[in-house]
Amino acid sequence: MVRVLALAALAVAGCSFGSGGGAPGSYPMTGQGSGTGGTGSTSTGAAGNSGVVTGAAGGGNPTGAGGSIFGPGGAGSTGAAGNSTGSAGSMGATGAAGSSADGGTVQCIVGINPLAPVPGSFANLETGQTLRLQASVSGVPGALAVHWTWLLKMTGVSSVADLPYTRVDDSTIELTLGAPGTYQVNASIDGAPSCDRAPVIFSVNSPEVPTLRFRVTPPASAQLPVRELTVKTMDLATTPSLDLGDARSSALVTLNPVDTQHSFPIPSYVRITSPSSGVALEGYTGQGAMVAPLSTSLTYDVLIIPDGGLAPLLVSGLPDAITKQMTIAPGASITGVMRDAMGNPVSGARVLLQAGARPSTVGTSGADGTFTLTTREGSLSADIVPPAGSGLPEARVAASPGIVLLASMSSLDLSMDWAKVPASALTIAVTGTGAAPVAGARVRVDLATPIANAGTLRVNGATAAQLQATGTAYADGVTDAQGAAHLGLLPNGLYHVIVAPPDGASSVAITLADVTVPTTGAAASIALSKPMTLSGTLTAPSGVSAGALAGAKVTAIDRAPLAAPTMATATAGADGKYMLPLAAGRTYELLVEPDPTLGLARWVVGRYTPQVAVNTRADVLPPAIAWKGSVTGSGRVVAGALVQVYCSAPATWCADPGLVLTQGTTATDGSITLALPGSQ
């Protein structure tokens, strides 16, 4: 559920659309009627008798009523019985009769193409990588407004469950490869079973050895792209240079969104990302075009959020293709109204529609409950956030089946009616040492179980639909001088509560609790807990003196909600021992920073969740490898390049691939020396 609705942020198989009228065959790639089916008589052809290749004979004529691209034509005239060799039925097609003028068979080609990490290839995939897949369809007459349904599974495991993925847009998804094994992926077009295809099957392996990811950001004057290179620790000695490529492998692109007449530029926020990299480039074109050096071999996603209420745009492709997609059409106008269960207008509710990674503008309802926003075509999800303290749940409608907005539609009307959900006021009273009230404590509550029916979102117009919304609820507050946080009305149910004491209060820790909001209201009292003490021991690897552990800084990084601004830290003694005060039930990353000149590397030793019982752990630090390298590009050394190093894989070795382990800047001769973690 969206918490803050802000806008910052090949294997190919053939199948067929059936021809003419008549009932479709029953082979797994069954055809559907396309074009115009014949009206015929009310009787249909006799069923084919082969058992596998069934179908009814159907006539068809150019003036008959009927079929759309995803639906069968009208009833065919009486036909003879079909069989495996007869004319009445065929695999993947409906009636045998019909020509291209009266709804004849059209070949549909579906493709699933990997875009990253290696464009066009399923080879050499490893866990930890992000696989981006794009579906395509060709061989169909006219423009298709399609919605893709994806099915991703792992085979050969005891429990075959659908794998989660992220939509980039309606035809493109991303999947994090979390475990080694055999994967299968299928993409199909909603409403067109004739375009189903056999799944793509590929293998994912565990990395053989630990790997590091180098991110190189050259100075702007170099006009070279930011690059990421993955290097196995065993190959560091033979990787003396990080090459950013020659002039032919990079392009300096100019991104300047303009109106449809190319008459004037449109000031826009622009964000450039790539599925092959964790790099994100951001800019604003209000003072001029955004100029960015990009790799000519990588595909990029460019999210454009224009000023002036124009619909955001997401374009993808190689650099030369991106620059040709900077025309900003206004988009479709979406209007709607928000009402509570009694039919009263809801003022101050925010609405965001999304097609994959592309958002709409944000609509906010007025006093009469109405709102407006703009967006673009696709199957859209909806996130609706009511005003705080209203007692209404947040509502969400998923993208499938979703709100269908066709490219030909310039407007759409919605209406959201919340279901009747009982709500009560909630107040959290926070106490500390000696039961004294604690002022300035931060409080957050989250509904434990989603609401199955939060309301109904109606789509009014050509694509009319009634979509049931699921719901959730949360609230944030700060305790007053009496130690009370008044959170307003909330839907009844069980809530998970987090209470964080004021920063710097060392005698108490973040405290977790559960509170039930009854129909009569709730006033819960929560006493802040004392911190748990983690007693840890660090050990040096073979070949490194134990004395190198002395003075190593250990930091507990809390990434959960309401994390304290000041992180808990400790210093290890000569024996490698340290003690950290932590909150029970919270999960921390333990970052150790020894002196790299003494042979030990900066490293996240793992994640840890303190318990109420005794808390101890022991960790072996990796050795530091003195890597002396250089950065080159376009046949010359690159001075002033920022080099950042992250761990990459495997997950058992790399606890946090998003944390910079070490970094530095290249000297005037392009050289750099870094202390890198080696495998233990």
- Domain with residue 603: its CATH number is 2.60.40.4130
What SS3 class is residue 615? strand
CA–CA separation, 533 and 492 (whole Å): 36
Query: Strand 662-665 and strand 642-649: pairing?
Result: antiparallel
The reply to whether 523 and 539 lie within a common domain is no
pLDDT at 145: 56
Looking at mean pLDDT, say which of 169-178, 198-207, 484-493 comes out highest: 484-493
The reply to whether 447 and 521 lie within a common domain is yes
In a domain, 31, yes or no: no
What SS3 class is residue 420? coil
In a domain, 446, yes or no: yes
The reply to whether 514 and 604 lie within a common domain is no
In a domain, 566, yes or no: yes
Least trusted range by pLDDT, from 146-155, 210-219, 310-319? 146-155
* Domain containing residue 473: CATH number: 2.60.40.1120
| pLDDT category of residue 108 using cuts at 50, 70 and 90 | confident
Alpha helix locations (H) across 193-347?
A: 319-322
In a domain, 16, yes or no: no
In a domain, 568, yes or no: yes
The reply to whether 184 and 197 lie within a common domain is yes
* Domain containing residue 189: CATH number: 2.60.40.10
Number of residues that this document lists for the chain? 680
The reply to whether 504 and 539 lie within a common domain is no
Q: What percent of the chain has pLDDT over 90?
A: 53
| pLDDT category of residue 136 using cuts at 50, 70 and 90 | confident
In a domain, 431, yes or no: yes
What SS3 class is residue 547? helix
Could you report the per-residue pLDDT of 47-97, keeping only the tens digit for each? 333 333 333 333 333 333 333 323 333 333 333 333 333 333 333 333 333
The reply to whether 548 and 522 lie within a common domain is no
The last residue of a domain, from among 512, 527, 542: 527
Q: Are 584 and 611 in contact (CB under 8 A)?
A: yes
The reply to whether 441 and 523 lie within a common domain is yes
The reply to whether 570 and 545 lie within a common domain is yes
pLDDT at 499: 97
What SS3 class is residue 325? coil
Query: Percentages helix, strand, coil for the chain, rounded to the nearest 5?
Result: 5, 45, 50
The residue ranking higher by pLDDT, 6 or 334, is 334
Query: Strand 474-478 and strand 411-418: pairing?
Result: unpaired
Nearest to 677 by CA among 593, 553, 570: 593
The last residue of a domain, from among 205, 221, 247: 205
- State residue 33 phi and psi, 5-degree precision: -65, 140
Could you report the per-residue pLDDT of 1-15, keeping only the tens digit for each? 444 344 334 233 333
Considering its fold, how many domains does the chain have in total? Answer: 3
Q: Using DSSP, how many helices (H) and how many strands (E) does the chain show?
A: 1, 48
pLDDT at 138: 73
- State residue 551 phi and psi, 5-degree precision: 85, 0
DSSP conformational letter for 676: E
The reply to whether 446 and 515 lie within a common domain is yes
What SS3 class is residue 215? strand
Q: Is the pTM of this model over 0.75?
A: no
Q: Sign of the C-alpha dihedral, residues 650, 655, 656, 661?
A: negative
Q: What percent of the chain has pLDDT over 70?
A: 80
* Per-chain mean pLDDT for the chain: 81
CA–CA separation, 511 and 529 (whole Å): 6
Q: Are 339 and 419 in contact (CB under 8 A)?
A: no
The reply to whether 567 and 520 lie within a common domain is no
The residue ranking higher by pLDDT, 238 or 419, is 419
The reply to whether 201 and 115 lie within a common domain is yes
Looking at mean pLDDT, say which of 49-53, 290-294, 458-462 comes out highest: 290-294
The last residue of a domain, from among 508, 527, 546: 527
pLDDT at 206: 80
The reply to whether 477 and 550 lie within a common domain is no
Q: Are 570 and 554 in contact (CB under 8 A)?
A: yes
In a domain, 187, yes or no: yes
Its domain, for residue 591, covers 532-622
| pLDDT category of residue 223 using cuts at 50, 70 and 90 | confident
In a domain, 439, yes or no: yes
